[in-house]
Amino acid sequence: MYLSAFLHRDELFEITNRWLCDDFKPTDPLQITRIITYDSFAGWEALLHLTQSILTGATGKKLHEQRVKSKRELKDFLCHSARRQSLGIQTLIEKYTETPEFYYVGAPMAGIVFHDEAMNVLGACRFKKARRIAEKSNRYASRHIFEMVREKGVAQMEAWEKQGVRNGIDPQELYEQAEKQVMQEIRTKGLLLPEEPMTIKDVLGLKIVDLGFGEKGLEQAIKSLGGAEVMEKERHSGNYNAVHYVIRMDVDFPELCEKFRQNGKGLVYAQRGLPGDRIHQDFEDFMETGAKDLYVDLIFTTYEEMIQSEIGRSMHETRIFAQRSNQRVFGNIPVNIEYLMEYLLAVGLSPKVELEDIPIKIWGRYLPETLAYCIRKLFGMPEYSLMGF
């Protein structure tokens, strides 16, 4: 996974490539913890600064913030906005209010909604959860590895046909044999995934509600910031209506280091195994070794389309299910990649900075409870048994 929102994205990508090949270094856990902790802090502060600056510049309004920790909090806030609503949106909100549990309200999230004094929603920003990052990494990596497996399968099919074997070929058996060959090659020769197809651009995301200033007003607000520029722009229409931007922004390191000293989370971060007695200096030293910029995913939309994306026709969670259902890759490798990526991210959040090895191998076979058990061990949580042992 190449996370464009992280300053140490190159180093994290190198580690993940090695871990896919079971190439473990004793220094990896502490370095992963530094990247996950420090780069997440840097990214979140940069995202807040960007969101606040754009909204202030584009709307001229005084901003108010509401932190949201679950999808229910976000959906409730949007549905209770003071903004004028069409009949269709009113109907959607009434249905949501009757049975909110039907709308995936239990999903956790880390974000902030921005509004004015009248409780009109102006925008929102969020940090993608670790589970979703792992799932997306799996989807990207699996596409690449699936091509390797497909090529092996085609070669095997051609070899059988040359031998006169034309009937009775089981496609599932053919795929499994090809997958075993690829797994063995990865185990003996290693694997180097390409950077571009593995880039995840939406770890940091924000939505801006169009209050009448339009795309030109938004882009002018971005341009006026200095150190920020539009790198990509794409228009979505149909079931999902919005304009999608990828923003590159420079990082103000002196300001970032000052915010880290003031945020009061040094003790919390030290509980992850970071040097608590010199954590501020450790942060500053580490920041000097990373990239000088990061990337943010921006969605420019309307209030009504924002409602549609949470409880209507383009509901985000429904799109996630569609992505999972449409994924044509199957076999052990995709599952193992997702498990491995989720475990790696969990290492960065856990108290453990020393490991004996990587418990998930790309050539192995694992049940979901295996991953859950491995992650619980990272956090010192017991394995539950009805027998009590």
User: What pTM does this model have?
Assistant: 0.89
Residue 320 pLDDT > 90 = no
Burial environment of residue 354 by CB neighbours within 10 A (0 to 12, 13 to 18, 19 or more)? exposed
pLDDT digits (tens, 9 = 90+) for 200-256: 999 999 999 999 999 999 999 999 998 999 999 999 998 889 999 999 999 999 999
Q: Name every residue whose Cβ is closer than 8 Å to that of residue 291 and which is 6 or more positions away in sequence.
A: 7, 8, 9, 10
pLDDT band at 180 (very low <50, low <70, confident <90, very high): confident
C-alpha separations of 175 from 20, 22, 83, 133 in Å: 20, 23, 54, 27
What tokens appear for 27 in the block?
């220094």
C-alpha separations of 312 from 96, 128, 210, 301, 308 in Å: 9, 21, 19, 14, 4
Beta bridge partners of 230: 247
| Average pLDDT score, the chain | 89
Q: What pLDDT is stored for residue 248 in this prediction?
A: 97
Contact 388, 72 (CB under 8 A): no
Contact 274, 37 (CB under 8 A): yes
Section 13-31 average pLDDT: 94
In terms of phi and psi (left: phi > 0; alpha: psi -120 to 50; beta: otherwise), the region of 22 is: left
- Range with the lowest mean pLDDT among 71-75, 135-139, 282-286, 309-313? 135-139
Q: What pLDDT is stored for residue 324 in this prediction?
A: 53
pLDDT digits (tens, 9 = 90+) for 38-97: 999 999 999 999 999 999 999 988 999 999 999 999 999 999 886 777 898 999 999 999
Look at the alpha carbons of 182, 18, 363, 320 in this order and tell me if their dihedral is positive or negative: negative
Largest Cα–Cα distance of the chain, in whole Å? Answer: 77
337: closest CA among 203, 183, 185? Answer: 183
